[in-house]
Amino acid sequence: MKKGEIYEGIVEKTEFPNKGIVTVEDRRVAVKNTLPGQKIRFRLKKVRKGVGEGQLLQILEPAANEITPVCPHFANCGGCTWQNLSYEDQRLLKEGQLKELLDGAITAPYVFEGVKSSPRQLEYRNKMEFSFGDEEKDGPLALGMHKRGSFYDIVTADKCQIVDADFRKILCCVLEHFEKKKLPFYHRLRHTGYLRHLLVRKAANTGEILVDLITTTQHLREDGSDYSALTADQSWAEELRALPLEGEIVGILHTHNDSLADVVQNDRTELLYGRDYFYEELLGLRFKISPFSFFQTNSLGAELLYETARSYIGETDDRVIFDLYSGTGTIAQMLAPVAKKVVGVEIVEEAVEAAKVNARLNGLSNCSFIAGDVLKVIDELTDKPDLIVLDPPRDGIHPKALQKIIDFGVNRIVYISCKPTSLVRDLEMLQGRGYQVEKCVGVDMFPFTGNVETVVLLSKGEVDSKKIRVEFSLEDMDMSEFQDGATYPQIKEYVLEHTGLKVSNLYISQIKRKCGIGVGKNYNLPKSEDSRQPQCPPEKEKAIREAFKYFGMI
CA distance linking residue 440 with residue 426, whole number of Å = 14
Q: Where in 268-307 is the site for ligand SAM (CB under 6 A)?
A: 294-296
Written as one letter, the residue type at 551 is F
* Smallest separation, CB 418 to ligand SAM (Å): 6
Q: Does 346 engage in binding with ligand SAM (CB under 6 A)?
A: yes
Distance separating alpha carbons of residues 25 and 5, to the nearest angstrom:
13
Per CB under 6 A, 351 contacts ligand SAM: yes
- CA distances, 2 to each of 6, 7, 27, 29, 177 (Å): 9, 10, 11, 12, 51
Q: How many CB atoms lie within 10 A of CB 152?
A: 14
Catalytic residue among 418, 440, 515, 536: 418
Contacts of 493 (CB under 8 A, 6+ apart): none
User: Which member of 164, 212, 386, 391 binds ligand SAM (CB under 6 A)?
Assistant: 391
C-alpha pair distances (Å), 242 with each of 214, 236, 248: 21, 10, 11
Least Cα distance to 42 among 16, 19, 22, 62 occurs for: 22
Q: Rule CB under 6 A: say whether 331 interacts with ligand SAM.
A: yes
DSSP-assigned beta bridge partners for residue 288? 279
Residue from 345, 402, 413, 427 binding ligand SAM (CB under 6 A): 345
Report the distance separating Cα 309 and Cα 416, nearest Å.
8
User: In this structure, what is the dihedral angle of CA atoms 190, 193, 194, 195, given to the nearest 10 degrees?
Assistant: -70
Query: Does 110 show up as a binding residue in the annotation?
Result: no
DSSP secondary structure code for residue 363 in this structure: T
- Least spacing, CB of residue 239 vs ligand SAM, in Å: 32
Angstrom distance (rounded) from CA 107 to CA 429? 11
Q: How far is the CB of 378 from ligand SAM (least distance, A)?
A: 9
Indicate the Cα dihedral angle 508, 514, 517, 523, nearest 10°. Answer: 60
Residues 206-225 that bind ligand SAM (CB under 6 A): none
Kindly state whether residue 369 participates in binding ligand SAM, applying the rule CB under 6 A: no
Identify the residue among 31, 80, 102, 374 touching ligand SAM (CB under 6 A).
Answer: 374
State the residue number with the nearest CB to ligand SAM.
327
Which of these ranges, 6-14, 168-176, 326-334, 362-370, lies near ligand SAM under the rule CB under 6 A?
326-334
User: Quick check: is 173 catalytic?
Assistant: no
Query: What mask of x and - would describe binding to ligand SAM in positions 433 to 462, judged by CB under 6 A?
Result: ------------------------------
Amino acid type, 65: N
- Contacts with ligand SAM by CB under 6 A: the residue count is 20
* Interacting residue with ligand SAM among 283, 348, 506, 517 (CB under 6 A): 348
381 touching ligand SAM, by CB under 6 A: no
Query: Which residues lie near ligand SAM (CB under 6 A)?
Result: 294-296, 325-328, 330-331, 345-348, 351, 373-374, 391-393, 418
The residues carrying an active-site annotation are 418
